[in-house]
């Protein structure tokens, strides 16, 4: 319960700051910002999920004829671009209606899943799993540690999408 109260307090403080600096007024003033951000957020999600899902699924054993190192080098930058698009557009969407999210359970879970997905992504290079996976050739099986990280990655990012989609339905925000 402490975490939930703390999180809601921080979201409300951030909401107040966004209103104070005028970002909410800016988003409200231009009617095209919200639909544009929603469209770009969808594109960002597609880039993020395609990059992550293709790499994670290969690591889990699908498409074994593909080498993992080149996939990592090409798909991870795609996912990072998608995440950057979503970070900017998500901030603008949040700024347009900042007080709508502080009490929304779905928003809290979405943010939790994003943080956990980020921590999980950091485990990949920090634990040395990335070096092991880059050394694999086509048809080689990834180590169990890589499969656990990639399985968790898929679960967490699908969770981010689920909780994002539940925003209008859980928490009486909209």
**Average pLDDT of the residues in 129-153:** 92
Kindly write down the DSSP assignment for every residue of 104-164, as one continuous string.
-HHHHHHHHHHHHHHHHHHHHHHTTHHHHHHT--TTPPPPHHHHHHHHHHHHHHHHHHHHH
Q: What is the DSSP letter of 62?
A: T
Q: Is it the case that residue 149 has pLDDT exceeding 90?
A: yes
pLDDT digits 0-9 by tens, 4-61: 678 778 888 888 888 888 888 898 899 999 999 999 999 999 999 999 999 999 999 9
**Tokens linked to 142:** 């990834």
Domain boundaries, the chain: 2-165
174 — pLDDT class (breaks 50, 70, 90): low
**Average pLDDT of the residues in 152-164:** 96
Q: Is it the case that residue 119 has pLDDT exceeding 90?
A: yes
pTM: 0.88
Q: Is it the case that residue 1 has pLDDT exceeding 70?
A: no
């Amino acid at each position: 319960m402490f975490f939930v109260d703390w999180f809601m307090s921080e979201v409300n403080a951030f909401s107040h700051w966004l209103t104070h600096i005028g970002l909410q007024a800016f988003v409200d003033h231009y009617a095209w910002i919200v639909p544009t951000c929603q469209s770009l957020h969808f594109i960002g999600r597609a880039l993020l999920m395609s990059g992550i899902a293709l790499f994670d699924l290969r690591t889990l054993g699908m498409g074994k004829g593909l080498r993992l190192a080149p996939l990592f080098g090409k798909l991870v930058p795609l996912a990072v671009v998608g995440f950057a698009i979503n970070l900017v557009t998500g901030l603008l969407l949040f700024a347009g209606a900042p007080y709508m999210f502080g009490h929304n359970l779905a928003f809290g879970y979405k943010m939790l899943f994003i943080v956990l997905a980020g921590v999980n992504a950091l485990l990949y290079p920090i634990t040395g799993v990335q070096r092991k996976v880059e050394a694999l050739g086509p048809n080689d099986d990834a180590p169990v540690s890589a499969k656990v990280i990639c399985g968790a990655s898929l679960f967490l990012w699908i969770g981010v999408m689920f909780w994002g989609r539940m925003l209008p339905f859980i928490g009486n925000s909209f």
